[in-house]
Amino acid sequence: MINIVLFGPPGAGKGTQASRLVKKYNLFHLSTGDVFRFNIKNETDLGKLARSYMDKGQLVPDDVTIQLLISEVEKHPEVEGFIFDGFPRTQPQAKALDEILTQRGTSIGMMLALEVEEEELKKRLTLRAIDSGRPDDADPAVVQKRIQVYNSETAPVLDFYRAQGKAVLVNGVGEIDTITDRLYAEIDAVIG
Ligand code: ADP
């Protein structure tokens, strides 16, 4: 059993790869972006709040996001391990995640950071907008803002896990299957 942070900029392929990893390692996929979109679809108060940030390419505030994460983790006491996708996105979120897992008697085993350069991300998000129906993918100004927010607020999370010796960089460019194999190899090296 292992808890994994799947990390990377918007469009790096976190969601695609997470759905493969959960099957192979019997993990639970927890995507904060998916939970926010579920709430938007169901027109909850949380959804309305989250939307006001997401539509602009900004992060939902830490206090709201951390509370959401805690309640999602608590909803699934039976799971053997989580893949956190899109969380943590700030250093305070990373610290909170450590605390939540410590309380459950567990911890993050590794952070897998998908590396994809900016021009490729923009191409992928533009393509994804056609199928995803996500307004934050369709507007180039919002995409640019998300990448900028990633660079300023989220990239430092890598240092947080580096300091713990848990960060593993993975080339996120290539065939989807090839990238999955790279991730499998890194996970297998850690779980033995
Ligand atoms: P992507 O990684 O492709 O940008 P996500 O689905 O992970 O897509 O996130 C979409 C949006 O949801 C983000 O731009 C942000 O507004 C919000 N969001 C998701 N996760 C978080 C988080 N951990 N903290 C703050 N905001 C978040």
Going from N- to C-terminal start, the domains of the chain cover 4-191
Residue pLDDT, tens place only, 47-65: 999 999 999 999 999 999 9
- DSSP per-residue letters across 9-78: STTSSHHHHHHHHHHHHT-EEEEHHHHHHHHHHTT-HHHHHHHHHHTTTPPPPHHHHHHHHHHHHHT-TT
Rounded Cα distance, 37 and 32, in Å: 9
For residue 50, report the distance from its CA to the centre of ligand 1, in Å.
Answer: 9
Is residue 1 very low, low, confident or very high in pLDDT (cuts 50, 70, 90)? confident
Supply the DSSP symbol for 165. Answer: T
Residue pLDDT, tens place only, 134-150: 999 999 999 999 999 99
For residue 192, report the distance from its CA to the centre of ligand 1, in Å.
Answer: 32
Looking at domain 4-191, what is its CATH homologous superfamily?
Answer: P-loop containing nucleotide triphosphate hydrolases (3.40.50.300)
Q: Which helix (H) or strand (E) holds 94?
A: helix 91-103
pTM for this entry: 0.96
Report the residue among 51, 59, 63, 144 best suited for mutation to probe ligand 1: largest number of ligand atoms under 8 A from its CB: 59
Q: Catalytic residue numbers?
A: 14, 89, 128, 134, 146
pLDDT of res. 31: 98
Show the ligand 1 pocket: residues with CB < 6 angstroms: 10-11, 14, 32-33, 36, 53-54, 57-60, 65, 86-87, 89, 93, 136, 146
